[in-house]
A and B are shown apart, each in its own frame.
Chain A
């Protein structure tokens, strides 16, 4: 069975500093995809970044990067130069080839950025 684990229910970071949100996963699939979504207090789910299991380079999207360590089955999100608007819930998710299209989500990490 596939599983996503986010061990940090809540985190604080000072504005302009970098922060790492942890995510580990478990799957028996060889081909899978890892996603990060942001959910501000408004409730919308915003796609941030994607990493494929066969991608050799870590994914980056602006201030977001994904620290992908395949052997350790971890896919940590790194946010550089935190901004007040980064305060939100962050969800790690995965899809495996056998999962029929749906994403399996972790329980989320609530990030609070302090001025």
Chain B
């Protein structure tokens, strides 16, 4: 069965900490994505990557960076966590190609910044 794995289901961090959210997929997908989900706002794209070492900003990249050193792994980095980054973070992957390719999602990381 195909799988996107996020390293933590729940995470509690302090303001100012550097936070790493890890995502691994086993489907050899080219595309990987980080979304943020907030009540009433739906899912918003933070960053995505279509190849190793490639990254593109999404709609809300401020305060975040990403790293993709290997095809299967896509990391989201909060350089200095703030309380307004408390949210659910969803990683997803998909093959490169047609408009009909669906996204496969991880189970999410609920991050609380205190």
Pull 9 A–B residue pairs with CB atoms less than 8 Å apart, ordered by A. A33-B98, A35-B102, A43-B107, A43-B110, A44-B105, A44-B107, A45-B92, A101-B101, A105-B35
> Given that A101-B31, A102-B33 are known contacts, is A31 also in contact with B99, CB under 8 Å in the complex?
yes
Q: Give chain B nearest CB distance to A64 CB in angstroms.
A: 14
Question: Bound complex: CA of A6 vs CA of B107, how far in Å?
Answer: 23
Interface assignment of A97: CB less than 8 Å from any CB of chain B? yes
List A42-62 residues whose CB lies under 8 Å from chain B: 42-45, 47, 50, 52-53
CB 8 Å contact bits of B81-114 with A (1 = contact, 0 = none): 0000000101010101011111111011010000
Question: Bound complex: CA of A95 vs CA of B98, how far in Å?
Answer: 9
* Beyond A45-B103, A47-B103, A53-B99, 14 additional pairs, beta carbon < 8 A: A35-B102, A42-B107, A43-B108, A45-B90, A45-B92, A45-B105, A93-B43, A101-B94, A102-B31, A102-B45, A102-B48, A103-B103, A107-B42, A108-B42
> Given that A106-B42, A107-B42 are known contacts, is A33 also in contact with B99, CB under 8 Å in the complex?
yes
Q: Which residue of B lies closest to A32 (CB)?
A: B99
Chain B residues bordering chain A, tally (CB within 8 A): 29
Question: Bound complex: CA of A112 vs CA of B45, how far in Å?
Answer: 27
> Given that A43-B107, A91-B43, A105-B43 are known contacts, is A100 also in contact with B48, CB under 8 Å in the complex?
yes
List A34-82 residues whose CB lies under 8 Å from chain B: 35, 37, 42-45, 47, 50, 52-53
- List residues of chain A with CB under 8 Å of any chain B CB: 6, 9, 31-33, 35, 37, 42-45, 47, 50, 52-53, 91, 93, 95-97, 100-108
Interface assignment of B56: CB less than 8 Å from any CB of chain A? yes
Interface assignment of B64: CB less than 8 Å from any CB of chain A? no
List of A residues within 8 angstroms of B101 by Cβ: 95, 101
